[in-house]
Structures are given as structure tokens and as C-alpha cells.
Structure 1
Amino acid sequence: MFFSLRNKLFLVFSCLLTIPFLVLSLVIPSLFTIYIKDQTQELTVEIMDQFSLYIDSITKQAEDVGQQVLVNPITQEWLQLETKQKDDDTLNIARLLVRNELNALLSSMMVNNSNNISVSIFTHDGEGIWGDYADIENNTWYSEFENHNKTYTRSHIDPNQQSAVMRDLHINSHLIPLVDMNSFGDSGVIKVNFSTELIENALDKIKIGEQGNTFIVNEQGANVLTGEIKTPQEIVTDSLEEMKDRQNEQGLLEIEGDNEKYLLFYQHLSVGDWILMSEVTEADLFAHPYQIQKSMLLLSFGVFLITIIASFVFSSSITNPLRELTKAMNYLEKGDFNSAKQIMPTIKSENNEVRYVLRVFAHTLEQLKSLIDNEYKANIRRRNAEYKALLLQINPHFLNNTLEIMGGMAAQGKNKDVMNVSVYLGKMLRYSLDTKSNTVTLGEEIQYIRNYATILQLRYEDALHISIDEDPECKNLPIIKFIIQPLVENAVKYSFIAKNHAKVYIKTSYQSNHLTIVIEDDGIGMSEEVIYHLIDNDDNNTKSSTLESSGNSIGLKNVLDRLQLYYGEQFSYQIDSEINKGTRITLGINYEGREMNEESHNC
């Protein structure tokens, strides 16, 4: 069987089509990965070079401004006056005049520069031109400048500036020693500030992949701009260590993380010890080649399916009619005789044995369909007869109970109540005797229950409370008669057995073509054995036991049998009961596929 024609074709097509596609799906994405890696490195280096030129222009301007301030005579004069120990009115006036001139000089430099540059001057004891630093030694940027000679600071906020706008901005600064040009003594620091936002805006344009990150750090791995670096710190640290070994100004590092591989492009900037880094994961960078590989694998799978289809198309003429015959038998198994009969004339075969099997099956199909049709028609007639018999059991049972109620009221001399009961009873009898149709609307059935409840209310007065929650969407739904009244009658009857009061709750709802009717009471409840007996009888379709019963079976079982008989599988129910606490009966009818315009007549 393995070397049949179908299997041989399958092997040939698999080798010729599927295997080459599988190979290509592995080779082509690998070539794309190498190409994308080379192109990404080339483009990233080019963009980094452009960014480096931009940074150079800003820092060069900051350095030029710092040198201009340092050599300016006004700065030197202010420095000399500030460092004099003598303190008299003449010197103080001279200091004030020079400070004003220096303020004007620094203000003009700020206005003339386009990159939001501001300048601050202060001595080592913290005295500054725009304000004093009481604890200047505790400032990180000052400590790094004095101890490590770092002339470019990390991003920070400096409140001692002339411009109110610059005071609130994050800034980076270029620091220059404030030197007395006469004595060449180091007396303080010139701090040239420029907005961090200038750098970050340009940095945002450098991005690799969808999730890549670009940032600037110093040699210790600290971020020199604002915010946090999204790249894991261990990746940054490992990259800095590897850079020290390479001694290259720029390049590409491949760092293995915990769960994925990182590609990190770097370039040493001319600004202090700043290093520009651009990081992307291998999965992010090569997402498109991986998608191509996935698509080609799916294509290979599609080709594999085509080979299977081709092998079946070129199968032998013997297997084709047998396969069609199997399809007809499947329809027969599902009960779809018409589809099976439509297939049989289309099955052709030159083989005598197969042709004989087809002829015998077609004859068997005709005979079986004829027998089932006859049985179905007989079953419909029997079902209608059973339904009429069940319906006729309701009226005498209800009328007997109602007359007992009227007799009890007459014995008590409640003539007015007897008249009222007679009126409601007349309405109910007109409803009951209308035999033109087996169905009514649910609104008519509920009105029948209202009349019935009114009769019971006159008898039991405050001891009985019946509430009805009717969904307006249900009013026009067709339903068979007398499915609620027997359940309400049982609920009242068995509630008064153990209690001197009774509560009955009736609710209807309609949602998604499904009608739900709930009848709930606080009576004596039913045991699990009684409920099991009802369900067991229902599962075994023992309708005859209902028809043959006298009066004690009319009620819940009668209603369930009638609904099951009329609606079949579209009917469902649930009984929830607890001894001495009450019973809740839920009836469900699925109207999907049913005619909604069945006949009904008003009472």
C-alpha cells in the first residue's frame, strides 16, 4: 500500500517542490541578514558622524564664548576687584560698576548666540555673578571638574543664571578655569551653559529598528543627558569594557544578553569623555528577514499541501468512485438522503465489481428513505393525537379547583367575591374553550395567569402574594396554551402545606432568540429523588405514563411532556429546589429557525 501510485506521486512532488522551498526559506533570510547588518552599520556610522559634527558646532561655540569671557578686560577687572581683601566704599562702588558692566557683557553674549547659551562666573569660594553657591564643593559637576578635570558636565539644573527660562531647563555646561591673566592664578570657574534639549532633539533622529535606543554616556557609563537609559545597564557596562580593549574611535559591538543578542554601534565624541551609543536587539533589527523566513516556511507548507492534492487528483480511477461512494454514505449517516441521492448518479466506474456495489447501495438508499418517510408521517399523526389528549386533561382539573374556591367563598357568605370570581372564571373559560389554535401569544397566556391570580387572591387575601415580571419583548411570541397555570397552581398549593403564607414569582425574558420563563415559590420544595424521577422519565420519553394517569400526574410533569412533545430539542428546562425553602423552575424555548407568525386568538 505504501508504494501505491498516490504515495509515489506524493514523494516525487515533495522532493521536486517542497525541499527546494525549504532550502530557500533558510538561505535567503540569512543573506538578507548579512546585507541588512552591513547596510545598518554603514548608515549608522554616517548618521553618527553628522551628529558628531552637530555636537562639535555647539561645543565649539561654547568654548569660544568661554575664551572670549576669560580674556575680556571687564572679566579680568572684576576678578581683580573681587580678590582684593581691602573693603571700603570706593572699592565697593568700583566693584558694583564693574559687576554691572560684566552683567551687560554676559547678557549681550547670550542674546548674540543662537543656541540658548548662557554664561556664569564664580570664584572658588562660591561667589558668582548671578548668585552665590553656598556649598559649591557639594555640586557634582564642580567636584568632577576640580578632581577629575571634566570640562563638560552631565545634564543638570542651575538656578544661578541670568535668564529665568534657562534656570528651569536641563543644561549641559562647558567649564573653563577662571585665570587672572596677570598672575595666572586659578581663581574660579567660567561656566558656559547650553540647553540639553538641543542635543536630545538631534539624538532622537538616530534610531535603529523599531525598538532601538540611542544615548550618550561618559566613560563611567553614566547618562550625560536627561531621563533613564532603556538599554540594560549590564549591556552598557560590558560595551564600555570591550571598547577599552579595542581602542577604536567608532565601531560595532555584539553583546550577548540574558535572553537576546544586542548590536551596539558606538562613537567617541570630541566632547570630553562622551561616547555616543546606538543599540538595537538582533531580533528587532532582523525582524523583516525573520518575517520573510516565516512567510517562506508557510509557502513551503502550502506547496506541501499542493503535493498532497496533486497526488489525490492523479489517483487511480478505482479510488475515485469509491471516495464518492464514501461521501454518499457519510450523507446517509447524517440523515441527508437528498444529498446522497444527488451524488449517486454522478458516480461512474468501468469496474464491474464497483458498479455492482453502486447499484446495490442506490437501491438500498431508495428503500430506506421510503421506510423512514412512512414512519415519520405516522409519528407526526401520533404526536398530534398525544398533544390533544394532554391538553384535554388540563381543563377539568383546573375547573374543579376553581369551583372549590367559589364554593368555599359562598360558604363564607362572600357573595361579591363569588361574583368577581365568576367574571374572571368566564374570561378564563373563554380562553380555555378557544380550540381554533393550539398556540397563543405569551401576552395572552400571562393575562390568563393574571385572571387566575386574581381569583386566588380573593380566596387567600394577604396570605398570598403573586408577582409577575413580564418582558415587553415577549408579548407577541407564540407559545402553546396552559404551560404556566399548572406550575403556579402547584406553587400555591404546596406553599400552604407547611406555611400560612405563600409567595410566587413569575418572570419572562427574551434574548438572542431564546425565551426564558421562571416560576419560583417559597414552598416545601422537592427532594432530589422526585426531581430525578421527573428527569429520568423525560429522558426515556415516557409520554404514555402522563396520558394514562388520572389526576395526580397533571402538573409539572404534564407541562414538561407537552413542551417536549411540541418543541422537541428546542425546549430545555431546569429545576432547582431545596426542602422547606422553595422551588425554582426555569423553562427555555429556542425560537431560532421557528415561524414567529403562528396563529393565536384573544380571549
Structure 2
Amino acid sequence: MMKKREMTIFGRFKSIRDAMMLSFSVLVVVAVLIFLLIAMNFTKKTIYENSRTSTSQLISQVNYDIDSYIDYMENISWVAASGSDLSRYLFNQEQTPEEKEAAKERILTQFTTILESRSDIYNVAAVADNGEALINSGADRLNKYVDVRQQSWYQAAIHSPTGIAVSSSHVQNAIAGSYHWVITLSRAIVNEQTGEREGVFFVDLNYSAISSLCSNTSIGSKGYIFILDEKGSMIYHPQQQLIYGGLKEERIEDILASKGDFLETEEGEDSKLYTMSKSEKTGWTVVGASYVTELMKNNRQAQMLYLLAAAGILIGVILISSFISSEITKPLRRLRDSMSLVEKGDFEQASVEITAENEIGSLSKSFNAMTQKIHALMEQNIYEQKQKRKSEMKALQAQINPHFLYNTLDSIIWMSEAGENDQVVLMTSALAKLLRQSISNDREQITVAEEIDYVRSYLTIQKMRYKDKLEYTIDVEERILDVWIIKFVLQPLVENAIYHGLKYKETKGNLDIRGYRRGNRVCLVVADDGAGMEESELEHILEKKEKKTKSNGVGVYNVQKRLQLYYGPEYGISYISRKGEGTVATVTIPLDGGKSNEETGR
């Protein structure tokens, strides 16, 4: 036996169209997924780099704006501090009281002009080591509880290489009554007599000036900017109070230690990106703190667009692949449908339309040629089978007719010798009727009524032969009398019943012939109360090797063969028998008399 090969992957599909469509879809899905992974990864990196570059540009711009602002304030301080009046006044150089007072008025007027011209300046003042001081318009005084010379911004200017210093944010407490949050720009004043730095001119800048430069620049809804000096002190932070209160921390040490312009750190479930820009002028470091999730917001939008595009592509591919696979497999489906018609025996409609010159077209041509040849061979075979069946049936009839004639003539001779002339006439008439019915009709079928009439003539002869040893009854429903049946079906069964069932019975033998309808079938029953049969005999009664006797040269087998040859294997003869009790033979034929079988060429 041929070993069944394991089914392939595509062989598991019931439709080539489905297999092709799935193959196309899988290939496209794989290609789209690879493209998506590459494109999304590239886009993510690009957006991240662009976001970093954009943030860096913003921070650099803030740094530039702060430098410009400080540079402008340095120019103001230079104008105010470089005049000779301020130096002579502070260091008590040779001046009369009137000259000193006049110089003071000029200096204070200049301070007042600066204050009034700039809303972002709180204080303009000059202080010397000797205790002299000029503050704003002259009405303010130094805080007697604070040593101004010890202030960090004071010392920074004195010791600065350039003589200029910018402080971190602080509360200005050196001036009495002035406790503003400021950034102090201080410039050292040189005593012309000694050539030493013995005083400082300073401008207190409103903290909001620096704050506005930072807060006006947006780096996301959660991002912010802060400023560190060279030592890491916080010059500006939007949450300055939280920083000083220890409630908020920044990675200041990491920022100062970073050698690049970017530092990425983890903060909870998000990552924070620090972008730094250090000022060459002030030494300050402007830091932009942004969150990666915000920076990558455009990446999420891009990913969504990619996914939508991929979904659109996949839907399009599925539709297109469905159409293409349907078109490619359409000839195969036509071929399959034609094969189904051939399987059902419909050769007239089984021809396949040739729509292509490819392998499928070639296969369709071969199929059409094969179908036509098979159809022709089947038609020829059907014709030959019909002729063979007619020949067989005529041969069977020829076998049966001499048998009747032999037995009947034997009886006539016997009665003639006995001088029973009336019986001879009656039997001869019955025989003539039988022969006339047998040879005068070339039809394959007769009605049940004619078959019963034929059997009645036969039983008339047998009744005369066996006299009181044989009794028979015939009871057939009137509604089946017009049903068609092949000739010579019941007579061999009746003959079998007489010769094998009743002949050797010591008492009278009874033979009953009945006919009735059961559903779409007609049943004709021949029952006797004769010798009956053993079960082993019953099993072989319909076999071809059934033993022939001189009383029955044909046997039940020939009748069975004729019935099944004409009506089909589901019809024919069935037997029920018990030894010593009798035998019942039932013939079953279709109600339509086998017309459907005749139409299909059975």
C-alpha cells in the first residue's frame, strides 16, 4: 500500500486562493513590519536628535540674551564708575566742601537717571573701603549691621581679574530698608592716588529680569531653564524657593562634571535631558531641563501615522491579493466545478472555458479532451451494455421456454395415454396460451396483471398434473396491476415452490401468491407450506453454483440476475424458510417499473 505523505503547509488549505492570499499577505506583513521597525527606529533617532538640537539652540539663545543683558549693564556701570568725580569723592582727594558737594550732586543725578531709565534696576550705589558711600538718589543709607566689604559680590569685584563680577541671586541686605531678591553687578573702583582697588560700584538688577529671559523660552509644557554659576550656585531657578528649601534637587554635580552639552538622567518613569550652554562672559551655565517623553511626542505621532499607513497598506494588499488570487485561481475553480460535473455524470456541461495560454489553460485543454473521450467511451459502453442485456434476457427466456414445453408435453402424453381427453384439451389450451404469451411479445416488460395471468395459466397446468395435492390462491392489489415488470419472474419461483417444496409432501400442498405496494416498491410473494430449507441451503440459493435439476434448468439465480441487471442491486429476490414449515420468496421491484433505470441506461 502506498504510504501517505505528510501534508504540506499549503496542502492544509482547502482553497488555493486562500493559500495564495495568505502567502501574499504574510510576505507583505513581514515586509511592512521590517520597514516599520527600520522607519520607526530611524524616525525616533532623528526626532530625538532634532529635539536635542532644537533645545540646544534655545538654550544658546537664552545664554546669548543673558550675555547681551549683562554686557549692557556693564556698559552702564562703566559710564557711571569711570568718571573722575566718583573717585575723588569717595577717596577724599583734595576738594573743598563746596566742590565735594557739587560732585556728589552730579553723581547722584547720574544714579537717579539710571534708576529712572531702567525698571529692572533696584539700586545704583558706590561704596569705598573708607566708609564713604553714595546710594541711589542719596536718601538711602548702608545697613549699619552689615559690613558691606565682606559681601561676596564686593569681594568678587575687588579680586576679579577684570574688576567686574556678577553675583548669584541673593537678598540685598547691605542697604537699609532694601531687601529685594537681586543679582548684583559690581565693578571695582581704583583709588587714583594709590592705584589700588579701594571701592566698588554696584548695580542691583531685579531678579525678574533674568527670570523673564528664561521663562519666556519654552522647552515643553514640563520643561524649564535654570542658571548656575561657576561654583554650582543657583543663580536662577523657576522653583527657587523649593531649591533653597531642599524640596527639589537638580543633578548639579553631574551637570558641572559633564564634558558635553547634554546629560540624560532617569527620573521616575521618565528620563530627563539636561542641555547646557556655558557663558564665556559670565561663567554662568544656562541649563535647559526637558523630559524625553515630551521631546518624543512627535515620535508618537509619527509612529501612529506609520501604523495607520501600514494598516492602510495591509488592507489594500489583502484586497488586491484577494482580487489577484481570485483571478489567478478562477480557471482552477472552473476546472474543479467541471470535474464535479463529470463526477456526477454530467458530461454535457463539463467542458471548461479556455481563458489563458499558461499551464492552467493547457491543463484545461487536456481535461476537455479527456472528458470528451471518456464521454464517448461511456456512451459506447452503455450501448454495448444495453445490447448485451437484451441478448442475455433473450437467452434466459430461451432457456425457460423449452423447460415449460418439455414438462407440459410430458403431462399431455401421460393424460392422453390414460384416455383423459377432456383434460388433454384443457391442458393443451393452457399450454397454447402460455406459448402465445411467450413468443408473441418482444417487449422486455409486461404488466403485473399479464405476469399474474401467465402464472395462472401455468398453475392451471400444474393443478391438472398434481390434482388434489396442490391448492393455490392468488391475491394481488388492484393498484399494482398496471405496474411494469420484466417477463418470467414469478413462474420460475412458482415452479421452484412446487418441485422443491410441495412435490414430495405427503399431504396437500398450499401455494399462495400475493402482490402489494410498500412505499415506492412493489412486492410479489410466492409462499408454500412445503419442505422448507435448512439455513445453510438458504444461504446458497441465490448463488450461481446452485444445483440444477431437470425440473428447473435455469434456477432462481437467473431470475435474480435478470432483476438486478434491470432494476439495480437494491431490488431482487429474498427468501425466508424453515425446514419442515415452508418457504416464502419475495420479489421486490420499483413502483415506476424501472423507468428511471431505463433512462440512465441501466
TM-score of the superposed pair, with normalisation by structure 2: 0.43
Flag the structure with higher helix content: 1
Q: Which has the larger radius of gyration?
A: 2
